[in-house]
Amino acid sequence: MMQELSPVGRFQTIVLATDGSEYSAAAETAAVDMTRHCEAQLLVTRVVLTNPEYEALVPDRVQQAETEAQKQIDALAGKARADGIHVETILRHGADPYHEVVRVADEKHADVIVIGRRARSDLARLMVGDSTAKVIGLASCSVLVVPRGTQMPEQRILVATDGSRLGDAAAYSAVRLARRCNLPLTVVTVAPPDGTKEQRTEADAALERVRKAAETEGIGIEALREEGRRPDEVITDVATRRNADLIVVGSHGRTGLSRLLMGSVSERVIGNARSPVLVVKASA
């Protein structure tokens, strides 16, 4: 059993993935705010959708799309620089935007990708959005998913842990971010209603690790052991009750296209949450 949290949770290089649409507006604002709080570097990234055949057929359209995209990210970068943020713009071409975003994150050794989320619906994949889900699945770094109309937290951060290495990675990142944002932290673990005494003991030990880490950083923290058969529902319910405006969850590193979080607790939390969700990655 782990006695301390793992040393992860850097926020030094942040990639903003924008498509210039209304669904990226909140992500753009959140990325700038996160960069400011963490004193990080911001990489404003946009992908022009194209392929060699399309470029050969209508080169003028491709050039126009590139010009408009560059103008948009330059405008974002200009506003960020006015706030004293170190920012770089990156324009890529490709048929699959998620591949290009992940490639930029890999090349730049990014710590976090910030991306928007499509509107809510009854299906988890539709709630998350196909491209967003693929970025989460393919990225080796953490991913902050920002729904339309939300922002970086101003009230409280909630982190969910199951006591595993992934849960500890999420918890440590949440502690680091809470310190940067000067916000209180709630840590929750969800046990089955008919759980064993050993499971309850392990849950309490996980909560204690997070509590000690937070107190060491001077962060106000509350620890909750909840019961439920659907951890994702419990997590989003606790976030609502505690007025948490950022949820932090853990996930494996690259999952591959065949295992893009579908059906997982993380994806259901992302799809149902009314706040941004930070998915913290750990190597498989």
Give yes or no: residues 34 and 133 share one domain: yes
Inform me whether the pLDDT recorded for 11 exceeds 70.
yes
pLDDT number for residue 283: 56
21-25, 102-106, 157-161: which has the minimum mean pLDDT? Answer: 21-25
Which residue, of 92, 114, 147, is where some domain finishes?
147
Give yes or no: residues 46 and 20 share one domain: yes
pLDDT number for residue 136: 85
- For 68-80, the pLDDT digits (tens) are 999 999 999 999 9
pLDDT number for residue 119: 54
Mean pLDDT of 4-9: 50
**What CA–CA distance (Å, rounded) separates 48 from 144?**
22
pLDDT number for residue 238: 97
Whether this model's pTM surpasses 0.75: yes
Give yes or no: residues 176 and 255 share one domain: yes
pLDDT number for residue 157: 98
b/e map 127-138, b = 16+ CB within 10 Å: bbbebbbbbbbb
State percent of the chain over pLDDT 70: 85
Q: Is residue 166 part of a domain?
A: yes
CATH number of the domain that residue 60 is part of: 3.40.50.620
- For 81-90, the pLDDT digits (tens) are 999 999 999 9
* Of 40 and 51, the one with more pLDDT: 40
Give yes or no: residues 137 and 164 share one domain: no
Give yes or no: residues 132 and 200 share one domain: no
192: helix, coil or strand?
Answer: coil
Inform me whether the pLDDT recorded for 126 exceeds 60.
no
Give yes or no: residues 75 and 133 share one domain: yes
Give yes or no: residues 273 and 163 share one domain: yes
Q: Is residue 176 part of a domain?
A: yes
Q: Is residue 129 part of a domain?
A: yes
pLDDT number for residue 49: 84
Give yes or no: residues 207 and 130 share one domain: no
Give yes or no: residues 18 and 40 share one domain: yes
**What CA–CA distance (Å, rounded) separates 224 from 203?**
10
Q: Is residue 239 part of a domain?
A: yes
Domain count, the chain: 2
> Exposed, middle or buried, 20 (CB in 10 Å: 0-12/13-18/19+)?
middle
Inform me whether the pLDDT recorded for 122 exceeds 50.
no
Give yes or no: residues 276 and 161 share one domain: yes
Q: Is residue 92 part of a domain?
A: yes
Which residue, of 123, 147, 171, is where some domain finishes?
147
pLDDT number for residue 262: 41
Structure tokens at 6: 């793992």
Which residue range is the domain that position 253 belongs to?
Answer: 157-282
Give yes or no: residues 170 and 96 share one domain: no
Inform me whether the pLDDT recorded for 118 exceeds 80.
no
Which residue, of 124, 147, 170, is where some domain finishes?
147
pLDDT number for residue 154: 95
Give yes or no: residues 121 and 162 share one domain: no
Nearest to 118, CA basis, from 261, 49, 22 = 22
Q: Is residue 5 part of a domain?
A: no
Q: Please provide the average confidence, as pLDDT, over all residues in the chain.
A: 86
55-64, 198-207, 239-248: which has the minimum mean pLDDT? Answer: 55-64
Structure tokens at 185: 């932290």
Q: Is residue 6 part of a domain?
A: no
